[in-house]
Amino acid sequence: MNLLDIYEEGGFHALRELAEKANTDAQYLRQLATGWRGKKPGPKLSKRLIEADPRLTWSGLYADVDPDRARAVVRSVMQLHVRSQIAAEIK
């Protein structure tokens, strides 16, 4: 499993929770998850992430991110976020 899988599964909220556990920034995790500018986590951060969420693997954290999949995940997460905001406003 990698960060994009976590982002796809739980949205930004899941990255925020992971960031708190791993003592890092959620926005930075989103950049790592989507492969923004080819970013990869350093060894110390990778270790903290794996300790915070044992579903993550070293090979998953260092695998290349498919840009098409990353765009699709970001799009779907944003759509879900907008829908939940609209639903909250209606209530």
Per-residue pLDDT tens for 25-56? Answer: 999 999 999 998 888 999 999 999 999 999 99
This prediction's pTM: 0.81
> For the chain, what is the domain count?
1
Query: What is the CB neighbour count within 10 angstroms for residue 70?
Result: 17
Compute the half-sphere exposure of residue 48: CA atoms within 13 Å on the CB side of its CA. Answer: 14
Residue found under tokens 């909250």? 88
pLDDT, averaged across the chain: 90
In whole angstroms, what is the distance from residue 62 CA to residue 41 CA?
8
pLDDT tens, residue by residue, 62-90: 888 888 888 888 888 888 777 777 877 88
Q: Which domain holds residue 19?
A: 3-90
